[in-house]
Chain A
Amino acid sequence: MTAYTLTATVKDANTNQSATLPAVFTVTSVKPIFGTNKEATWSVVSTAVGGIRAYRGYDTPTVGIPTTWPGSSAGPIPSGSLPMISIRPDIPSVISGSLDSQLAAFAKLVPAGAWVTCWSEGEAASKGYTAAQITGLHNRAYPIFKANSPNCLYGQMFTTYSATNGRITPYTAKGLDYYGLDVYPWTTTDTPAANMGATITQIQAAGVTGPFAVTETNNTAGSGAATASMARADWFTQGYAYAKSMNMLAFVTYWNPTLSGLVWPPDSATITALSVINADSKS
């Protein structure tokens, strides 16, 4: 638990006299919620590491704004899990306001506590959107989700690779409920702390203080898209330790049977490491 001091100041606009009063509030540290994504066959991973909680599902641009929760390609949501769902509506249409009613209808379906976002990794150069489009998307969607599902968490998810090409700070929407990081090593010397730290620094440069979460991580994406900088078990162990130190809300791994480097199951040391992380997350 960390204690913070709020200092209120009242200043007389006429005389410039002022008064201050401090008050203490506390923020309890929470351990990141551990989980994984749909493609890995969530239940297989869950069984292997002792029962996990977070579930990350993805709707495609074709799905657009789903008419059912969580959308046809993001579900089904495992019973008892914490859903983290991303959708991909047409961005110019969202910004124009023409999809407001559809977003509101979908938002009404979002359960309390669930995580949602539009266009995870939308800032990535490969997506081809401008900073104004991405911030405009979130600025339009956030109040709609919060008005129709006040206790959901609406945030923004980045790939940490975007920290290497200046696509974090200008793409950061302010005032969201969380800022997710999809974390993969980009050099042979990369560490989880350096990788995430670089992205967090650039998010903070936009005037945002968090909270942060790891919304995807693994240490190779296969097909040469990323480079393993250390043993996978060490990557997860170090990454989780850093996430805890930063009071991150979640630590979600990513597995994919169609990407050679991300096929479950990994080596036994990695499964053991993930089991330890999962147990700590739930303790």
Chain B
Amino acid sequence: MAAPSITSITFNKPSYVPGDLISATITYVNGTSPSVQSFTGTALDNTTGLEGILSVSFTVSISDYSMVLAADSGNRVWTKVSDTGSVAVFTATA
């Protein structure tokens, strides 16, 4: 199991003037959760019809759904305009 993480935040411009559209691209990695699954092996005796069965468990790491949020110290309204599951783009007005 792993926690989600944010890889990077990039802006579309190095600086803004009031009224500009700010576009922030956030690259992130979803968290994962363990999913325990069972593998069952069966040996069947074709003559007697008897069978031997053994089950073992294994763990699969599942990528979770993540929510991405953006806020800034200027209390702007940030709008998520796209989200691929690993890259989210937010916009606000400078």
Contacts and interface: CB of A to CB of B under 8 A. Distances in A.
Contacts of B75: 209
A7 B93 contact: no
Interface stretch (B37-45, B47-55, B66-74): B66-74
Contacts of B15: 1, 25-28
A29 B19 CA distance: 11
Contacts of B4: 10-12, 17-19
Contact of B71 (A7, A17, A18, A248): A7
A2 B75 CA distance: 14
Contacts of A225: none
B18 A14 contact: no
Contacts of A11: 4, 66-69
Interface string A226-262: 0000000000000000000001110000000000000
A2 B22 CA distance: 14
B5 A19 contact: yes
A9 interface: yes
Given A11-B4, A11-B66, A210-B93, A30 B9 contact: no
B94 interface: yes
A178 interface: yes
Contacts of A7: 70-72
Given A8-B6, A10-B66, A26 B76 contact: no
Given A28-B16, A211-B18, A247-B18, A8 B74 contact: no
A210 B75 CA distance: 11
A210 B65 CA distance: 34
Given A11-B4, A153-B19, A23 B76 contact: no
Interface residues of B, number: 41
A210 B67 CA distance: 27
B26 A8 contact: yes
B19 A178 contact: yes
A12 B20 CA distance: 32
Contacts of B22: 25
Contacts of B77: 174-175, 207-209
Given A7-B70, A13-B66, A28-B17, 12 more contacts: A1-B15, A4-B74, A6-B71, A6-B72, A10-B6, A10-B69, A15-B1, A15-B33, A19-B28, A27-B17, A27-B94, A211-B93
Interface of A: 1-2, 4-15, 17-21, 23, 25-30, 153, 174-175, 177-178, 207-211, 247-249
